[in-house]
Chains A and B, each alone.
Chain A
Amino acid sequence: MTETKKYWKGLDELTAAPHFVEQSQKEFAEHIPVDEFLNDTAVAENKTHRRDFLKYLGFSVTAATLAACETPVTKAIPYLNKPEEITPGIANWYASTYFDGFDFSGILVKTREGRPIHIKSNKNSSITGGGLNSRVNSSVLELYDAKRAKAPARNKGGKWDKGLNWSVVDGEISAKLATSSKIAVLTGTLMSPSSEKAIAEFIAKYPGAEHVVYDSISSAGILNANNLMFGKSAVPAYHFDKAKVIVSIGADFLANWLNANQYTADYAKGRKPEGEWMSKHFQFESKLSLTGSNADVRGTIKPSEQGVAAAFLLKELGGGNSVPAGLTDTAKKKLKKAAAELLAAGNGGSLVVAGSNDLNVQLVVNAINEKLKNYGTTVDINNPLNIRKGNDTDFAGLVNRMSAGSVDAIIIAGVNPVYSSPSKIAGKGDFKAALSKVKLKVYLGDRLDETGEVSDYILPDNHYLESWNDYNPTKGQYNIAQPVINKLFSTRQWQESILALSGNATSYADYVQANWTAMGLSTSQWYAAVESGVYSASALSTVVAEVVDTKKPEAPKAEKVEAAITAAAVVASSSVNIEDAIKTFKASKGFEVELYVKAGMGDGRHALNPWLHELPDPITKVTWDNYVTMNPQDALDLFSKAGGSKYEGLNELYLGEQYPAKVVEVTANGVTLTLPVYPLPGQAKGTIGIALGYGRSVTQGISREEWSGDLFDLNKKIGENAFQLITVQQDGSFIYNADVTIKATDKKYPLATTQTHHTMMGRKMVNETTWETYKKQGDKAKEEGGYNEQEYLKDSYGKKRKPEELDLWADHGIDLGHRWGMVVDLNTCTGCGACATACQSENNIPVVGKDEVRRSREMHWIRIDRYFSSTVADKKVTQLEQLSSIGEYHEAEVPDEEPQVVFQPLMCQHCNHAPCETVCPVAATTHSEEGLNQMAYNRCIGTRYCANNCPFKVRRFNWFQYDSLNLTQYPDFNKVNPAQDDLGRMVLNPDVVVRSRGVIEKCSMCVQRIQSGKLDAKKAGSPVQDGAIETACSEACASGAIKFGDLNDKNSYVHNASKDPRAYVMLEEVGVKPNIYYMTKVRNLDSKEA
């Protein structure tokens, strides 16, 4: 019996829950709680008499008329002395670099009249290959955060003297430092030659000082493993583009693991089915990660089994001999398959990575790569990445010394250890307790956060867009960061503070340049490097001294390792015993928690960025919150009532506007967190996942809750701090998983998830196939039985006709001139969401807050639909034609334990026969001759007919004036979005209108960019070149999954791609003729696996 795949977004859809069916029929929620929202009870109680009403009406009409008659006086204030490079109305782009110790990216910053407003990737920066995630492109908003510290401050017994002079604090601190004998400087990974030098200068001034590097998300396991085996405490360069088989054991390398921006771009190169080979990707993990959801084969293991899985794989490959107990049979089967594929890929044709921070796991993984002869091809230890240098053991040692009272003074820069360190370090207390023993605590952070609050001084740091720096991500490669705006507040970048405390009064700008001059760069070469944002030592044939690793590597275990690597005999020649490493693996039996990093929130330093909070998590689609992910079956067992049937049980797990989540208490390592539960298909049984980066004290009061009563109040902070749960090993290293006990409570908590919003009514939107089928069918995909079968309709004579031949409307003339369109490749889309935040930044999309999201009122113009898929028997498919009735099928009712996932970016499809246009009573939405579905906000009267008639559910309605300047009118929106205040509005794009209340809006295909691109071409007197115009989403896409262009241009990428056998348009049978094409997803599976 053949089988058909059915796609569902959440458990509600899978089981066809009544509320889901009801909600999917409505584009907008029925109840409009305007009064409650405005919280104006006086209005509700007050009765207005008819006569009063008429009086008010008369008065307001007259007042409005009179007001309209008055000539508004608008001032136009030119520069007195205009800077040469600024022309009002024209954007300037500056190259810079983003590095915060976690994400790294070469960037280009768009400034308008001196204000940075948008960030895109710098393609000059070879190290990131043009990739940029949402954390980086959202960081421009953080510049305009009015809650940053605005001047130096001194802690006076819990009260802060704010607004001090720099010279005063410098003097006070220098005097105190002079009397301190043991000083510690704690920073994150720097990888900056000039920052290192500044710290060296500080240490020279205060001989008792030491520099400790600490990463909030540590990769010390990798560093130490490579130090043991190769004598290099470094992260090797991984080349995902060269690997025919990729096996990842818990490494989320497409979202958060090391240099994920580069890996995404590289990974996409190997995922093109058109090529000679397509990479096959195996993922073994507990919580369904972004990377795992892109894998061809995904196996579930417990976090503690990562080592076991690695050892099992090594054994299968013929190395090692003992395999510790653990792993399910399915996981073993998949690991065996993976081993077979790895061997088949041949020497150096594969790549195995692991996310664990456990030294032993990394040792085994190194041995596997060695066995597969991947060193030199896909793993390059000779050109390592400097992106992580933090050493957990050093950090634990520092905390021990601090607790013992043997540290007199500490300077903390660029990290927030009070927040982001475990509750028990080396078996003792937390960092905060140890810090209290230090006499002088100086914090060089950007605000009074967790660490700032308990410090003696805060010397506020610049935002990175106000700062200079240089970076050395890898050998011979330098990235320069330059400020793009003058400092907004009286801040000073921390390197300059370090210099000032060392008695060096140079500005850091001069300091960096002087360093480069000393390294041999001429002034013009330096300017060229600043202008392009990168400097490649080899390209300019100038010898630049390499940055020395911050950590002096321990003495190499084998002196000749270097040569041994290429000779591929490392394991044998090194003194490392893999067998010993394997012996340390033991799987636990109870529940385990995996502490992971979310694609939006990262390690928590973006906790005040509302764009990132509102970005739905790629996997769970939850916004604004932290939660426990749990296998639905585990959740059922935990919460099931006695005697309840299975079906009723699933009902308990629904999440929606009226369905708050259940709340559990999770206890690990002596800390108890109370969090809501998100039942996540694909979560390994017996495990839960909790995201790091939440529970920041600075998020107090941001989230707005409408619900009360029996609902659990999370102390009004967003989420809970899961860093406390980290397990610290004997040597001080951090392990991001722990044994936990879980207790169900009867509390409930509202989660704002968008997974069931804008549902596609059970229609088939995604198309997928296997690589085998793809190759076999070739150009015949569109024929009957093909994976991309052409849809036919029957006309009144019963003749089969293509939908495009049957038209209800007259044709729009789209053949003349341009016809803008996009091609979205479902194969390379990883679902990361960088496009959504880039769009938010480009198109002034408001943030609506958690409560509004819960009411399906999120405003994103582009959303990423995430579908789980189940396989259903074919004979029942015919019954599936009605709305989302997958739930009728008991085979599909219980989600697969390892479901497949498809991501589909969805924006306005710009239909050439758009259903929305025909129903607008005021012609506010019309079609352009260039194929755009246009929206004139001014004309819109808010009937919302268009949204009701849109089969793709891409239209958004402004229920309120979200960006209101009037702080008293909607104070709540300024609370949920601190960036909607006066300062935050500086980030708005002046070329795009800020929409008002009561109008519909949607993706415009960045018409402002199209118009300006056309104008550039007209001025140059040449046709528009393919690629000259890019939309915000296509530009942001690291994997190149979204491409924009002119479908009428025969030479354009999109024209040719739209003719590809893989290309299809959504809902072809409806005949709306979209201008957005999708490319069928091709999984690298053989017929048995599929």
Chain B
Amino acid sequence: MRQISSISSLLKLLAFTLLFVSTNVAAQDAAAGEKLFKKNCATCHSWEKPGTGPALKGAVDRIAPGSYGDVDSWLKAWIKDNAKLRASGDAYGNAVFAKYGTPMSTFGNLSDAELGEIVNFLRVGPSTPPPPSGGNDKVPGKDSTNTEEGSDLWLLLIIIAVSALVIIIFTGVNRSMKNVIKTKAGEEADEPKSMWDAMGHWITTHKKLASIIGFVVFLTLGKIGWDALAGIGIYQNYTPKQPIAFPHDLHAGKNEIDCKYCHSSARTSKTSGIPSANVCMNCHKAIDEGSRSGKTEIAKLYQYVGWNPDSAKYMTKDGKMRNDTAIEWVRVHNLPDFVYFNHSQHVEVGKVACQKCHGEVQEMEEVKQFSELTMGWCVDCHRETEVQFAGNDYYKKIHEDAKAENKHKKDFKFTVDKIGGLECAKCHY
């Protein structure tokens, strides 16, 4: 009976993310502290307004350090392991926890110097005031990325049609002129021929050229038809309109929120999971205004969950999140029902980056289908990708056996297809 607490898993995930983020940061001053703050704390804490956690403006003045002596060491202890601090019976820590309810994650990975930088930052505050609504971010033009698919083809077809029309007109003019000359010369004018007769006449008189043209036309049409048929059911670049214009480039790109902070079940389940609104509200209790669309899009979220940003309360009878609405996101990546795909197998065991299949989502304002999602595409990857066997005892024996079996092959690679990655019942059952 294994039940994963979503909150604890999110926190663990955050800590995991920070492990990588923080080790890269080696700043020496409050500016470095600000950077650390943005990476580690800003998802739950803002400077001005209380969010999941309290607003941090003036925090250093509020704190009653109790047995820790001074504010700095209290803060360091709190950030490092707030649970431990609370367990020690600290009055202020427990009071804060009681007020906000959500346990803060622990940051054991931060060094003492880094903690110091964060504390320094907390004294100084942000270097620039928060940007006004509308922001100075450049809003990428929609047309620049999403040209209408197939417009080139239309252009080509129009040119061909116009040229054909011109040729027909000129041929007609030519014939009338000739007839005029002939009439003037007293000869009998040609019988006016239908276009088809003329074409037939032309073909019989230009057999070689006609057959070459015919062949080229056949090939072109064949290719177009074949491509059209092969493309049935492939929705690469599918970019549907979503009920809330959620910008991935801002969240995953600029704010560098880890994919799996929101799509947490990608690590445990077959679905990556669209985050429930309570995950959104972790941050958006505090952030009610965006840099692009101002308050309009975030207001939609508030509408769904019943949050009043002015009073900072849920406007339901019981003061809890609404449960009678649904955000109907449009699914971008659709696999057919007869395919079993498991995210956790790929993300956790195979250590495949999300971007490998979903593209650079952190640069997409609107998410689009990056890959073909065809079976050929899956299978190609399984042929090339090596199994992540290192340090995983599950693969130990099978890897050794496979190596022994293939010892005569010099460039043996332990790829997924070597252990049945191409078999039907791996995905179809």
Contacts and interface: CB of A to CB of B under 8 A. Distances in A.
Interface residues of B, number: 64
B392 A78 contact: no
Given A930-B420, A993-B428, A1023-B393, A82 B330 contact: no
B273 A88 contact: yes
B327 A80 contact: yes
Interface stretch (B49-57, B78-86, B163-171, B331-339): B331-339
Given A71-B238, A90-B268, A1011 B423 contact: no
A987 B328 CA distance: 24
Interface string A1002-1029: 0010011001001101111111100000
A1021 B265 contact: no
Interface in A928-973: 928-930, 932, 934-939
Nearest to B9: A87
B277 A993 contact: no
Contact of A82 (B235, B276, B345, B397): B276
Nearest to A843: B429
Interface string B225-250: 00000001101001010000000000
Nearest to B281: A81
Given A78-B274, A816-B398, A937-B338, A68 B423 contact: no
Contact of B265 (A87, A928, A932, A1014): A87
Given A80-B322, A85-B3, A1015 B405 contact: no
B394 A89 contact: no
Contact of B235 (A71, A531, A1018): A71
Report, as a range, how many residues of chain A touch the other chain: 35 or more
B424 A93 contact: no
Contact of A84 (B6, B275, B279): B6
A1022 B5 contact: no
B420 A81 contact: no
Interface string A753-787: 00000000000000000000000000000000000
B218 interface: no
B331 A939 contact: no
A1017 B240 CA distance: 38
A930 B421 CA distance: 11
Nearest to A1020: B394
B401 A80 contact: no
A69 interface: yes
B423 A993 contact: no
Nearest to A89: B269
A76 B274 contact: yes
A583 B328 CA distance: 77
B271 A817 contact: no
B240 A73 contact: yes
A74 interface: yes
**Max chain B CB contacts within 10 Å: which of A928, A991, A1018, A1022?**
A1018
A58 to B, nearest CB: 16
A209 B394 CA distance: 65
B273 A938 contact: no
Q: Secondary structure at chain B's binding surface: helix, strand, loop or mixed?
A: loop
Contact of A531 (B1, B304, B338, B423): B1
B265 A816 contact: no
A92 interface: yes
B235 A79 contact: no
Given A80-B277, A88-B265, A816 B6 contact: no
Given A77-B327, A817-B419, A936 B235 contact: no
A370 B398 CA distance: 60
Nearest to B324: A80
B178 interface: no
B269 A816 contact: no
Given A68-B233, A78-B327, A82-B276, A939 B424 contact: yes
Interface string B1-25: 1011111000000000000000000
**Max chain B CB contacts within 10 Å: which of A531, A929, A935, A1020?**
A929
A935 B330 CA distance: 32
B349 A77 contact: no
A77 B428 CA distance: 25
A178 B420 CA distance: 73
Interface in B380-429: 391-398, 401-402, 405, 419-420, 423-426, 428-429
B268 to A, nearest CB: 6
**Max chain A CB contacts within 10 Å: which of B265, B323, B402, B420?**
B420
A75 B278 CA distance: 19
B63 interface: no
Interface string A50-79: 000000000000000100110111111111
Interface in B319-374: 320-323, 325-331, 334, 337-338, 340, 342, 344-345, 348-349
B413 to A, nearest CB: 16
A926 interface: yes
Contacts of B275: 78
Nearest to A108: B1
A1012 to B, nearest CB: 8
A119 to B, nearest CB: 15
Nearest to B387: A1018
Contacts of B295: none
A993 B4 CA distance: 26
A926 B423 CA distance: 8
B3 A74 contact: no
A930 B338 CA distance: 21
A77 B6 CA distance: 18
Given A90-B269, A929-B419, A1007-B429, A81 B394 contact: no
B330 A73 contact: yes
B270 interface: yes
Contacts of A1015: 342, 344-345, 349
Interface string A536-570: 00000000000000000000000000000000000
- 6 closest Cβ contacts across the A-B interface? A89-B269, A934-B425, A82-B276, A79-B276, A936-B424, A89-B270
Given A80-B326, A90-B269, 14 more contacts: A72-B334, A74-B330, A74-B331, A75-B331, A82-B279, A85-B3, A85-B4, A88-B265, A88-B271, A94-B1, A817-B398, A928-B420, A935-B424, A1022-B393
Interface of A: 65, 68-69, 71-82, 84-85, 87-90, 92-95, 531, 815-817, 926, 928-930, 932, 934-939, 991-993, 1004, 1007-1008, 1011, 1014-1015, 1017-1024
